[in-house]
Amino acid sequence: MKYRIFTKRQLVARILLYLAVLLMLAFTALPLIYVVLTAFKPLDELLRFPPTFFVSRPTMTNFSDLVTTLGSSDVPFLRYIFNSLLTTVITVFLSVIVCCMGAYGMVKHKVPFSNFIFLIIVSALMFSGHVTQISNFMIVNSLGLVDTYWALIIPKIAVAFNFFMVKQFIEQMPDAYLEAARIDGAGETLIFTRLVMPYLRPAVATLTVFSFVNNWNDYFSPLIFITKEQLKTLPLALQSIGESGNIARAGAMAAATFLMTLPTILVFSFMQRQVIQTMAHSGIKA
Amino acid sequence: MNRKVSALVSKYKVGTLFFLPFFTLFVIFVVLPIFTAIGTSFTDYDLLNPGKFVGLSNYRLLLFDDDIFVTALKNTLVFALFSGPIGYLASFFMAWIINQLRFKSVFALAFYAPSITSSVAMSVVWLYIFSSDRYGFANNLLYNMGFINQPILWNQDATTIMPIIILISIWMSMGTGFLVFLAGLQNVSPDICEAGQIDGIRNRFQELVYITLPQMKPQLLFGAINAISGAFGVFDIAVAFAGMPSPGYAAHTLVAHLYDYAFVRFEMGYASAVACVLFLLTFFFGRICMKVFASND
């Protein structure tokens, strides 16, 4: 630990700096703290005038309301949570495997035209996914996958961003490791599962975070691919409760917002260290 | 000849096998769709009947007869030109400051958290703050301070919709760039900073401009490219805050227009033309960033 001795002027500057940062963090964090507090407010506090920020009598009723009263449209709320979790977990899992395999193949072995292909992948980082959604819809439609879970999974496995992150990371891996294993007679599958994947752990953690966040929050894909109520995911369900404008549902809405927000923040805070470690290699040299 | 083929096969076999799953899915769902979109944009196609080639007429309609498209284009550009650069600069500045503080990871989490939230979920909070009656925080505050007598109709008035969507999306989008920059700053070697001090770098700002920034070009580019694709793809938050269609089309963006024609009216040709415009815009700005942040080595 290194201690510095500040002059008086430096100390004042330091305090002002911390104050400025705290102000900025208030802007980013207060709405989120508000989500948490609101989820535990009883209905009379939710509708109080003037509005309050803090909760005075915390309760769990909003959560039990969410599970019971929202079953009105034949689909219990838990089903939306299940749909979101299932499609997100499968997409994350497949995307991590497919992108790691691809990056390993491209970096540590030879792939024809790999420079040109990588250039295309970098270009794909530039445009928003909405551009390809029309064609994706036509493809998914012709495969007969509209209104299935697969429609939410298959188009989002090969993501340029994910591939890019792993590729940058795996370039740091020393070839000597792999050579040694090959001399010992290890097959390629064994090398990939026992050497490469463990080495990639920080990158895998990072992909898991980003992929989880993107798919959990995705509103556009289920909007175009899913019409059956029992297959809808949380963002769609939340949107429709919000639109109904039913004041009695304010509590359930607060609880649903909380449940929608919590998982991504938890996942990120568990893996924060690895994410930053991976992001250090994320730059693009143009 | 045969030997040549088998040499090629053994050279590329393993790599290609590992790469193939990604490649196949990437081509089907990312690369080909760009070309299909370009092709479809010259046709009249409704998913049921075979497409009819109509030349440039979709684009002619789009640019000269579709006032709502022009509004959407204008909204998207205004949105992107404000939220992109402001979010980008703010996130770099915060990364630079937070990197010099103690309790870095707590600060980083608090700053990053909004960008991993769902815009649909967060619009609930923002609608509560900017609710159009006196129950809303913003109206309540302004009323108590005596600035207004009547509540401002934040999400119904065409003049307030866009600024608020910009504010919300800056709030939500600063994080990705922030993480990239924070990671990049930790890479900047302290040796070069010390060398700089010997060479006459006097304060932190000089250090930032002459030493830190040039070393961070790759991260700056990555951050910029993410900012562009995010800024031009604005949709969820606009719909969640102002509805669709929004009052006076004040929150109507290119993606909203695309969604409307593709998945409500099923006019795939016309919607593809919108997609192509969006594609060209992001690509154009992306190329500019590539030029600006080109690494010299």
In terms of CA atoms, which chain A residue is nearest residue B286?
A126
pLDDT, position A237: 87
Using a CB-CB cut-off of 8 Å, the residues of chain A touching B186 are 276, 280
Which residue in A21, A50, A239 is closest to B120 by CB distance?
Answer: A239
Chain B closest CA to A136's CA: distance in Å? 6
Which pLDDT score, from 0 to 100, does residue B57 have?
Answer: 93
| pLDDT single digits (tens) B165-199 | 999 999 988 888 898 898 888 877 777 777 777 77
Would you place residue B32 in the very low, low, confident or very high pLDDT band (cuts 50, 70, 90)?
very high
B185 inside domain: yes
Q: What single-letter amino acid sits at A94?
A: L
A126 with B286: Cβ contact below 8 A: yes
pLDDT at A197 over 50: yes
CB A253 within 8 A of CB A273: no
Residue from B116, B176, B282 to probe the interface with A (highest A Cβ count within 10 Å): B116
A53-62, B34-43, B200-209: least confident range: B200-209
Q: Is the pLDDT of residue A124 over 70?
A: yes
At B253, is the pLDDT very low, low, confident or very high (cuts 50, 70, 90)?
Answer: very high
* A16: contact with B, CB 8 A cutoff: no
* Residue B33: inside a domain: no
- Is any Cβ of chain A less than 8 angstroms from the Cβ of B30? yes
Residue A1 predicted with pLDDT over 50: no
* Domains detected in chain A: 8-66 (no CATH), 75-279 (1.10.3720.10)
pLDDT of residue B297: 53
Contact A28 B113 (CB under 8 A): yes
Q: Which domain holds residue B169?
A: 63-292
Q: What would the mean pLDDT of B146-162 be, rounded to a whole number?
A: 86
pLDDT at A162 over 90: yes
Interface subset of A 98-117, CB within 8 angstroms of B: 98-99, 101-106, 108-112, 117
pLDDT value of residue A3: 54
Contact A280, B133 (CB under 8 A): no
pLDDT tens per residue across span A232-252:
999 988 888 777 666 667 788
Task: Assess whether pLDDT exceeds 60 at residue B13.
Answer: yes
Which of B113, B219, B278 is the closest to A29 by Cβ?
Answer: B113
Given 3-state DSSP classes, what are the helix, strand and coil percentages for chain B, each rounded to the nearest 5? 75, 0, 25
Selected residues 52-91 of chain B with any CB under 8 Å from a CB in chain A = none
> Is B268 an 8 Å CB contact of chain A?
yes
State the average pLDDT over residues A135-162: 94
Look at residue A73 in the predicted model and tell me its pLDDT.
61
Compute the average pLDDT of residues B68-84: 94
Q: How far is A74 from chain B (nearest CA, A)?
A: 23
Rounded to a whole number, what is the distance in Å from the CA of B63 to chain A's nearest CA?
Answer: 18
Q: Crossing angle for the helix pair B104-112 and B67-98, nearest 10 degrees?
A: 170
Q: What whole-number percentage of chain A has pLDDT above 70?
A: 94
Q: Which of A106, A110, A284 sits opposite B11 (nearest CB)?
A: A110
Query: Is A15 in the B-facing interface, judged by CB distances under 8 Å?
Result: no
Q: What is the mean pLDDT of residues A186-204?
A: 91
Q: How far is A149 from chain B (nearest CA, A)?
A: 17
Averaged pLDDT score across all residues of chain A? 87
Mutation target to probe the B interface, by most B beta carbons within 10 A, among A121, A131, A238 is: A131
Contact A218, A201 (CB under 8 A): no
- Give B143: exposed, middle or buried? Use CB within 10 Å, 0-12, 13-18, 19+: middle
Question: Would residue B87 count as lying in a domain?
Answer: yes
Interface test with B, best of A134, A142, A200 (most B CBs within 10 A): A134
Residues in chain B with CB shorter than 8 Å from the CB of A32 are: 113-114, 117
Instruction: Check pLDDT > 70 for residue A2.
Output: no
CA distance to partner chain A, nearest, from residue B210 (Å):
19
Predicted confidence (pLDDT) at residue B247 exceeds the cutoff of 90: no
In a domain, B231, yes or no: yes
Contacts of B87 in chain A (CB under 8 A): none
Of the given ranges (A81-95, A272-286, B78-92), which has the lowest mean pLDDT?
A272-286
Query: Could you tell me the CATH number of the domain that includes residue B207?
Result: 1.10.3720.10
Nearest Cα residue in chain B from A28: B111
Q: Considering the domain boundaries, does residue B37 fall inside one?
A: no
Nearest to A285 among B109, B120, B218 (CB): B218
Average pLDDT estimate for A227-233: 91
* Separation between Cα atoms, residue B144 and residue A136, nearest integer Å: 51
The residue count of chain B comes to 297
A49, pLDDT greater than 80: no
Average pLDDT over residues A142-167: 94
Report the phi/psi class of residue A187: left, alpha or beta, with left for phi > 0 and alpha for psi in -120 to 50. beta
Q: What is the rounded distance in angstroms from the CA atom of residue B176 to the CA atom of residue B181?
A: 9
CB-based contact B180 A282, cutoff 8 Å = yes
- Token pair 């998207």 is found at B76
CB pairs under 8 A between A and B: 303
pLDDT greater than 60 at residue A148: yes
Please indicate whether, in this complex, the C-beta atoms of A21 and B97 are within 8 angstroms of each other.
yes
Euclidean distance between CA atoms B184 and A276, whole angstroms: 9
User: Quick check: A71 pLDDT over 60?
Assistant: no
Whether A6 and chain B come into contact, CB under 8 Å, resolves to no
pLDDT over threshold 90, residue A50: no
Of chain A residues 200-229, which have a CB less than 8 A from chain B?
209, 213, 216-217, 219-220, 223-224
pLDDT value at B54 more than 50: yes
Confidence category of residue A6, pLDDT binned at 50, 70, 90? low
> ipTM for the complex?
0.89
- Percentage of chain A modeled with pLDDT above 90: 45
Our count of domains for chain B comes to: 1
Q: With respect to residue B7, please indicate whether it lies within any of the assigned structural domains.
A: no
Mean pLDDT of B15-26: 95
Mean of all residue pLDDT scores within chain B? 88
Mean pLDDT of A169-183: 89
Q: Is the pLDDT of residue B91 over 50?
A: yes
One-letter amino acid of B230: G
Asked whether residue B236 is assigned to any structural domain, the reply reads yes
Asked, for residue B40, whether it belongs to a domain, the answer is: no
- DSSP secondary structure of B75-115: HHHHHHHHHHHHHHHHHHHHHHHHTTSSSHHHHHHHHHGGG
Over 70: is that where the pLDDT of A187 sits? yes
**Per-residue confidence band for B262, with pLDDT thresholds at 50, 70 and 90:** very high
B237–chain A Cβ distance below 8 A for any pair: no
How far off is chain B from A122, nearest CA to CA, in Å?
Answer: 10
| Residue B296 pLDDT > 70 | no
Nearest to B83 by CA among B73, B75, B95: B75
pLDDT tops 70 at residue A11: yes
Q: Per-residue pLDDT averaged across B190-215, rounded?
A: 79
List of residues 6+ apart from A266 with CB closer than 8 A: none
Q: How far is B200 from chain A (nearest CA, A)?
A: 20
Helix axes B67-98, B268-292, angle to 10 degrees: 30
Give the lowest-confidence range in A36-40, A43-47, A77-81: A43-47
